[in-house]
Amino acid sequence: MWEFDPSKYSEANPNNTHFAHKHQEISKIIPPLRLIFWGGLICVIDLSISSTANGVGWKIDILDDLVGMLMITWALHVLSSVKVNHSYKVLMTIILVIAVLASIEAFHDHFIYEIPEVISFLFFVFAIIKLLAIVAWCIAMRWLSIKAGLLESVKSWKVTTWLFIIIYLIPLGLFNLACIFAILLGESFYFNLGFLALLILPIFLVPLIHLFISTSRMKREILYKYSRRRWLREQNSEINTVT
């Protein structure tokens, strides 16, 4: 995994004051993180209605993936503006571009028609890219936590990253690879979980739930860290006044 070594950065020190004057900049990351959670939840839960005639038609999700992706895209735009380091900026820009393309794909999914094999191939490749982008985003959130000196959040985001790798990237990545090879070999590949999908759905919610937990830990650490510094400044001010 692409790892970021906190020992090389002074920001990993809990006594770091680099962001002390940017409380608002750090605090603004919580709402978009929450938005990514809810947007991701909308994309995972698939409740749709459709209508077709002669193989052509439309499909609408009750919890529309397009709405979820637009929420995620806006949140990523906000997060990409936070100053962490050059690698963070580049990575978040790439992830934001992928999110925009995923939003276009979500809009395209409203239409039902016979998709050419070349387009299907590109969709399966893009599905793997999206999975990699999710993991990359979790790593970027670790970098942000390190920069802000949120040590508990750093540990929490590491767990979130591994949950997305194990539950999303590996199984879904292999599935999409199988579909890609099937297209290249000119064979059909169909995999229907049926009612088993209802049993698997809670498992796919685990990384999202832990994402919410990581977000909550960031919020708690931010509030504690800066309220403590404010209290210390007030105490020092009182001491200076007395002396």
Q: Is residue 8 part of a domain?
A: no
What SS3 state is found at 173? helix
203: Cα within 13 Å, side-chain hemisphere: 11
Does residue 30 fall inside a structural domain?
yes
Question: 161 near 140, Cβ under 8 Å?
Answer: no
CB-CB contact of 134 with 115 (8 Å): no
Of 38, 34, 20, 42, which Cα lies nearest the Cα of 79?
34
Residue 11 lies in a domain: no
Indicate whether 34 belongs to any domain: yes
Q: How confident is the model at residue 15 (pLDDT cuts 50, 70, 90)?
A: very low
Question: Which domain covers residue 219, as residue numbers?
Answer: 22-242
Residue 100: inside a domain: yes
Q: How many CB atoms lie within 10 A of CB 69?
A: 23
**CB hemisphere CA count around 140 (13 angstroms):** 27
Q: How many domains does the chain have?
A: 1
Q: Compute the average pLDDT of residues 107-125.
A: 89
Residue 9 domain-assigned? no
Average pLDDT, integer, range 38-64: 81
191-201, pLDDT tens digit by residue?
666 666 667 77
- Per-residue pLDDT tens for 53-112? 777 888 877 778 899 999 999 999 999 988 889 999 999 999 999 999 999 999 988 888
For the record, the structure tokens of 151 come out as 């040590």
Record the tokens describing residue 172, joined without a space: 């879904």
Burial class (CB in 10 A: 0-12, 13-18, 19+), 150: buried
Domain annotation covers residue 230: yes
Is 17 contained in some domain?
no
- Is 84 within 8 Å of 141 (Cβ atoms)? no
Identify the bridge partners of residue 52 per DSSP, sorted by sequence position: 57
